[in-house]
Amino acid sequence: MESIRIFLADAAHKLFSVLQMDVKTAFMHGSLKEDVYVCQPEGFIDADHPSHVYKLKKALYGSSSKGLVYVDGIIFSSTHPRPDIVHATCLCARYQAKPTEKHIKEVKRIFRYLWGTVNTGLWYTKDSGFKLTGFSDVDYARCKDTFKSTSEYVSLSACCAQVLWMRTQLTDYGLHFKKIPIYCDLKSAIAISCNPVQHSRTKGIVVRYHFIKEHMEKGTIELYFVKTDYQLADLFTKALPTDRFNYLVRRLGMRSLSPQELDRLAKSQ
């Protein structure tokens, strides 16, 4: 999905037109949890066993179970174009193995929010430039880690890995980035990342998370402190008050894109 987003962002930045082709394969690949049997189709009836039936291995278009196999994926697909529901969706997903009435109500609430903001989408102006910037945060309250700085440090390493992957992808588009800024709202985590010396508080961290220090020394990335009020990553990791949620959604570049608003924005460019 990240590769598709990068492609579309580059195409929009260069004012390219994108053509899409799709092949309908809906309900063809869902795994069945129960035994489902169907009659032999016309033209493929076994002459030696005409009364036998087939046992399905995958969901078949037209069968009564096809929709049930795919309905649980609809809400997850919605998180791709709508990053503002990522946290709520992931929170509900924790209970999908054994949902209760409470969880069903929360999922319905997400759908009501989507219904009320159906025209909301990302909007960037032509002169906004093409920048690669990272925001790192973690919901340490739900983390089993003892120290907030330690969990935030691990989150920084994961963010760094994602940024470096995107940097490699963007190189194929002729875009080269050096000293990529990553913003974190915890100074102690930044201090650990900038300090090449190991100490007792970091000895329990798996070695693979320390590669961020190497890239700090190389100058590939730069870490900056950002106040919690302006931390965009909070939108994806925490349940927020309405005012702050709406503020971060606007800062992310999301706005109402109704046909009338699109016409107005197009004329203002």
Higher confidence at residue 35 or residue 197? 35
Least confident span in 195-199, 242-246, 260-264? 195-199
Rounded to the nearest 5°, which phi and psi values hold at 131?
-120, 155
Strands 120-122 and 53-55: unpaired
Structure tokens at 170: 């963007």
pLDDT in tens, 55-84: 877 766 555 544 444 445 555 556 666 888
What token pair was written down for 57? Answer: 């291995």
pLDDT at site 73: 54
The per-residue pLDDT for range 207-233, each reduced to its tens digit, is: 566 678 888 888 899 999 999 888 998
pTM of the model: 0.67
* Cα–Cα dist 109/87, whole Å: 13
Helices (H), the chain: 2-13, 66-78, 86-93, 101-116, 148-171, 187-194, 211-218, 234-237, 242-251, 259-268
User: What are the structural domain ranges in the chain?
Assistant: 27-75, 79-123+257-269, 126-237
- pLDDT at position 157 is 84
